[in-house]
Structure 1
Amino acid sequence: MNTTLYKQMMKVNMKGFMNYAIGSAFYIILMFWLYPSIGQSAKAIDELVQSMPEGVGRAFGLNGFGSAEAFISGEYYGLILVLILAIVCVQLSTQLMAKLIDQGAMGYLLATPTTRGKVAFTQASVLVTGLFLIMAVTTLAGFLANIWFLRGEFDFNTSKFIEMNIAAFLLFFAIGGICFLISALSNDEKKALSLSGVITFGFFSLDLLAKISEQISWMKYFSIFTLYKPGEIINGNVDLTVSLSVLFIIGVITFGLAVMLFKKRDLPL
């Protein structure tokens, strides 16, 4: 890693990281603030949810309202957080690699006494650090919101809440690796951004469609989001060891490929 480059890129991107982190913290605090009024009518709301088509509940993570973590697993971790981190991965991976190549700035970086491998690894580290910061702030905000708004009056399983955050981080560690690989192999910023966006939101759409209807449930095998199951984490009926290990391996392989292939490719410098 090039420490000087890492510090500079973190300085450049820190405002963006914190904007996303604060936005994520705001939404999760809002969910906790809403839950006490919803929790008092949890039984009636659960009956309403159960009356809906089964596919709708699966697709939108309607996992019941009997506990705070069950409520936020669907209302926040199933959609809002996914959209926030998907945007971060697509945009930041493009800015860290493809944009610099497209604008010719990568040539200036490589003209310094460093190697291509160190530059790519450093940029990848910036992306992973950004994702970690956003998830760390989100997790901390959740714990604080539990103290402020639930006050021990409503069920809240802290271990399952932590597991949901770990799962979310590893999902986007894997997606970030895919987007970074695309960016490292692209010369055009717009093409890299478009392709990363299509793949990321394509995965999300395939998983959503697979949950809605049993007839097309086979689509889940073509989506990385199949390995991310916040609702099942709450219910305790998912093997986290397997799914989280696969996500971690995908991230390591894609980031590793990005660094290796960037070292060998021809650049329009």
Structure 2
Amino acid sequence: MSLPLYLAMMKSHGKLLGGFIYGAAAYIILIIWIYPSIADMKGFNDMIAALPEGMRKLIGMENGINSLSDYIAGEFYGMLFLIILMVYVILTSTRVMARLVDQGSMAYLLATPNSRVKVAITQAAVLLTGLALIVGFTTISGIAASEWLIEGYQLDVASFITLNILTFLTFSSIAGYCFLISSLSNDEKKALGISAGITLLFYMLNMAGKLSEKTEWMLNLTIFKWYDPIKMINNETDAFWIGCSLGVSTFLLFLISVIVFKKRNLPL
């Protein structure tokens, strides 16, 4: 990895990354802050129970809200945080590879003593560092807000941290195939469109698969099958094996990306 290139890329993506970190941290603080009013609302769980089963699964509240952990997992990690992280990995994976090729900047990078392998590894590190920072700041913000902003409601910190680790690994895998697409592309818009299309398809299959037993088979076609925030935060999943599987898939996807970028013809 090239440290000067890594630092330069982190600096150039600083404002964009800062926006994602601020948005994620601010929103999780907000939903934790208003949780007491939700928890004290009479009949809230009865209202949730009145919804169709598929709809409850879709919004991540199949069994209602029984704790602060359930509320955070369903309200934040079940939808909004997914969207934030999807947008980040799609945009950034395209910016660190395909955009540089499309705009001709990659030719200048490869004219330096840095090899293609070193450049690709550095760009992958930039992508994953940003993802880790977003998830890390969100984790810290959630724990701090639960301790300082509300009283009488306990957050299971260990399970919350486990949820965030699995969230990072899930989106590292998504970042892996987006990075592979970007490494194969000469056109920034094409890479962005393909990455966004595949990820959106996975997300829609996940939503459709939760609607009923007839469509449940669709969950087998999406990476989000392994991502169930409610079960994760309640320790109802095999976190170790899911984490290992996601970690291996991430490693393989980035390894293939580096090999492909090393061997492909570039319009330089």
Partner of 1:206: 205
How far is 1:44 from its partner? 2.3
Matched, 1:215 2:214: yes
Take 2:37 and 2:237, find their aligned partners in 1: how far apart are those partners? Answer: 29
Partner of 1:105: 105
> Contact conserved, 1:98 with 1:184, CA < 8 A, in 2?
yes
Which TM-score applies when normalising by structure 1?
0.97
Partner of 1:7: 7
> Contact conserved, 2:159 with 2:234, CA < 8 A, in 1?
no
How far is 1:166 from its partner? 0.9
Which TM-score applies when normalising by structure 2?
0.97
| Deviation beyond 6 Å, 4+ runs, structure 1 | none
Partner of 1:169: 168
> Contact conserved, 1:68 with 1:154, CA < 8 A, in 2?
yes
How far is 1:53 from its partner? 0.8
Partner of 2:76: 76
Take 1:58 and 1:143, find their aligned partners in 2: how far apart are those partners? Answer: 26
Q: Give unpaired runs (5+ residues) of structure 2.
A: none
SS at match of 2:51: coil
SS at match of 2:13: helix
> Contact conserved, 1:21 with 1:137, CA < 8 A, in 2?
yes
CA offset digits 1:238-269 (Å, max 9, x no partner): 11122222111111111111011100000000
Give the % identical residues. 43
Take 1:125 and 1:75, find their aligned partners in 2: how far apart are those partners? Answer: 30
> Contact conserved, 1:61 with 1:231, CA < 8 A, in 2?
yes
How far is 1:235 from its partner? 3.1
Partner of 1:90: 90
Partner of 1:131: 131
> Contact conserved, 1:182 with 1:196, CA < 8 A, in 2?
yes
SS at match of 1:236: coil
Take 2:173 and 2:67, find their aligned partners in 1: how far apart are those partners? Answer: 29
Partner of 1:18: 18
Partner AA of 1:235 in structure 2:
N
> Contact conserved, 1:175 with 1:200, CA < 8 A, in 2?
yes
Take 1:211 and 1:92, find their aligned partners in 2: how far apart are those partners? Answer: 29
123-132 or 56-65: bigger deviation: 56-65
> Contact conserved, 2:209 with 2:215, CA < 8 A, in 1?
yes
Q: How do residues 141-160 of structure 1 correspond to structure 2 at under 5 angstroms?
A: 141-151=141-151, 153-160=152-159
Take 1:171 and 1:69, find their aligned partners in 2: how far apart are those partners? Answer: 20
Q: How do residues 173-252 of structure 1 correspond to structure 2 at under 5 angstroms?
A: 173-252=172-251
How far is 1:164 from its partner? 1.3
SS at match of 2:43: helix
CA offset digits 1:130-164 (Å, max 9, x no partner): 0000111101110111122223x013211111111
Take 2:128 and 2:171, find their aligned partners in 1: how far apart are those partners? Answer: 9
Partner of 2:34: 34
Partner AA of 2:103 in structure 1:
Q
SS at match of 1:237: coil
Take 1:234 and 1:98, find their aligned partners in 2: how far apart are those partners? Answer: 36
CA offset digits 1:85-135 (Å, max 9, x no partner): 000010000000000001111000000011000000000000000000011
Partner AA of 1:155 in structure 2:
Q
Partner AA of 2:90 in structure 1:
V
Partner AA of 1:197 in structure 2:
A
SS at match of 2:34: helix
Partner of 2:58: 59
